[in-house]
Chains A and B, each alone.
Chain A
Amino acid sequence: EAGVAQSPRYKIIEKRQSVAFWCNPISGHATLYWYQQILGQGPKLLIQFQNNGVVDDSQLPKDRFSAERLKGVDSTLKIQPAKLEDSAVYLCASSQTLLAGGQFFGPGTRLTVL
Chain B
Amino acid sequence: ILNVEQSPQSLHVQEGDSTNFTCSFPSSNFYALHWYRWETAKSPEALFVMTLNGDEKKKGRISATLNTKEGYSYLYIKGSQPEDSATYLCAFNYGQNFVFGPGTRLSVLP
Contacts and interface: CB of A to CB of B under 8 A. Distances in A.
A102 B91 CA distance: 10
Chain A interface secondary structure, helix, strand, loop or mixed? loop
A84 interface: no
Interface in B76-100: 89, 91, 93, 95-100
Interface in B58-110: 89, 91, 93, 95-103
B36 to A, nearest CB: 8
B43 A4 contact: yes
Interface in A88-104: 91, 98-100, 102-104
Contacts, number: 54
Interface string A32-54: 01010000111111001000000
A40 B102 contact: yes
Given A41-B102, A105-B43, A99 B96 contact: yes
A3 interface: yes
A107 B41 contact: yes
A12 B97 CA distance: 31
Contact of A42 (B31, B41, B95, B101): B101
Contact of A56 (B41, B89, B97): B97
Report the 5 A-B pairs with minimum CB-CB distance, sorted nearest first. A42-B100, A105-B44, A105-B43, A42-B102, A98-B96
